[in-house]
């Protein structure tokens, strides 16, 4: 998973979270940081066929 915070004064306007391998939320450090630092979150999920 990747996270990108757009720099701004105070809270960032947008954080982009890219889920690559799983959709785990409970212990997701990037998601936790985005929730604290951004006003809005955009989630991107990549789904591939099994075995790829």
Domain-located, residue 52:
no
Task: Confirm whether 9 is domain-assigned.
Answer: yes
Burial degree of 48 (CB within 10 A; 0-12, 13-18, 19+): exposed
Binned at pLDDT 50, 70 and 90, residue 7 comes out as low
For residue 51, being part of any structural domain is answered with no
Better-predicted residue by pLDDT, 14 or 8:
14
Residue 29 is predicted with a pLDDT of 87
Residue 29 region, left (φ>0) first, then alpha (ψ -120 to 50), else beta?
alpha
| Report field, pTM of the whole predicted structure over 0.75 | no
Number of domains in the chain: 1
Residue 50 lies in a domain: no
Higher-pLDDT residue of 1 and 47 is 47
Q: What is the pLDDT of residues 25-52, one digit of tens each?
A: 888 888 888 888 888 999 988 887 776 5
Range of the domain at 7: 2-45
Q: Say what the alpha-carbon torsion angle 29, 33, 39, 40 is, to the nearest 10 degrees.
A: -30
């Amino acid at each position: 998973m990747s996270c990108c915070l757009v720099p701004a004064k105070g809270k960032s306007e947008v954080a982009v979270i890219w889920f690559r391998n799983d959709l785990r939320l409970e212990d997701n450090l990037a998601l936790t940081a985005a929730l604290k630092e951004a006003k809005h979150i955009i989630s991107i999920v990549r789904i591939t066929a099994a075995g790829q």
